[in-house]
Amino acid sequence: MNIKAVSIGRPQLISNSNGQTFKSGIRKQPVQMAFLRKGGFDLDGVADLRHHGGEDRAVCFYPFEHYQWWEEWTGKSLTIPSFGENITVTKMLEDDICIGDIYQVGDTIIQITQGRIPCVTIDRSNGIKGMLSEIIQTGKTGYFARVLQEGEIKPDLELKLQERPNPGLNISVLHRLFFHERQNYEEILGVVAVPELANDMREKFEKLLPSKRL
């Protein structure tokens, strides 16, 4: 499990090939080193503070292996970080990563908090329609983490698993429940009880439950 790329960037006005102009932090650029704090990377940011960012979503990961699949699906070459991720990682697919996982990355320690809830900005930034719906169908979302110990992050660093408190709750399970099995109340009740889950994600799941079950 290694870091393929580290990418950061401030929100900016973006114009795509479809003639759309919008403000977003999705267009990040790879760097050789970035300092990761509790609130996120230095010199990084998001435009929509209501739906993005915060300490529970301080850093965004995306699996490098997905890029080949997306290039075959789109018929286009996609450069890192086409999905707006901060860290592009190898051998860390959504099936392999669980809520609450704690990883040592150099001197930094992070904890996985939730899967990514994609939005149409991915379509707009890449100028390719249908990516959002395909992400929802396939679960190729990436995921977020909070920072337990701040430090420098560089490409090629290894991620070392330290703890796995919830081995049965990987990112793919979370995605299935949120997007495809919203009436699976028994499993959702188990998810909202997990203390390591991001608070915003917990609230989203709680809204799916009948009030009598809370």
pLDDT tens by residue, 149-208 = 999 999 999 999 999 999 999 999 999 999 999 999 999 999 999 999 999 999 999 999
- 101-135 per-position pLDDT tens digit: 999 999 999 999 999 999 888 888 888 999 999 99
Alpha-carbon torsion (13, 22, 7, 70), positive or negative = negative
pLDDT over threshold 90, residue 214: no
Q: Which two tokens mark 22? A: 């919008």
The answer to the question of residue 60 being in a domain is yes
- Report the DSSP beta bridge partners of residue 143: 61, 115
The answer to the question of residue 211 being in a domain is no
196 DSSP assignment: T
H helix or E strand, kind and range, residue 64: none
Q: What pTM was computed for the model?
A: 0.91
**Residue 12: strand, helix, or coil:** strand
Mean pLDDT estimate for the chain? 92
- Per-residue pLDDT, 211: 75
- Per-residue pLDDT, 21: 75
The answer to the question of residue 183 being in a domain is no
- Per-residue pLDDT, 52: 58
Alpha-carbon torsion (43, 107, 91, 166), positive or negative = negative
Cis peptide before 165 (omega within 30 of 0): no
- Per-residue pLDDT, 189: 96
More confident residue, 123 or 212: 123
Lowest mean pLDDT among 52-56, 134-138, 180-184: 52-56
The answer to the question of residue 206 being in a domain is no
The answer to the question of residue 149 being in a domain is yes
The answer to the question of residue 98 being in a domain is yes
Range 84-101 average pLDDT: 97
Q: Rounded distance, CA 171 to CA 45, Å?
A: 24
The answer to the question of residue 145 being in a domain is yes
pLDDT over threshold 60, residue 213: no
pLDDT over threshold 60, residue 9: yes
Q: Is 126 left (phi over 0), alpha (psi -120 to 50) or beta?
A: alpha
The count of residues in the chain is: 214
pLDDT over threshold 60, residue 47: no
CATH number at residue 34: 2.40.33.20
Q: Rounded distance, CA 205 to CA 210, Å?
A: 11
Q: Rounded distance, CA 61 to CA 31, Å?
A: 15
- 22-39 per-position pLDDT tens digit: 666 677 999 999 999 999
How far is C-alpha 211 from the geometric centre of its chain's CA atoms? 29
Lowest mean pLDDT among 11-20, 37-46, 97-106: 11-20
Residue range(s) defining the domain that contains residue 140: 3-167
Range 4-19 average pLDDT: 80
Cα dist. 117→83, 129, 143, 160, 179 in Å?
12, 17, 8, 25, 9
Q: Rounded distance, CA 108 to CA 58, Å?
A: 13
Number of folded domains in the chain? 1
The answer to the question of residue 196 being in a domain is no
- Per-residue pLDDT, 51: 54
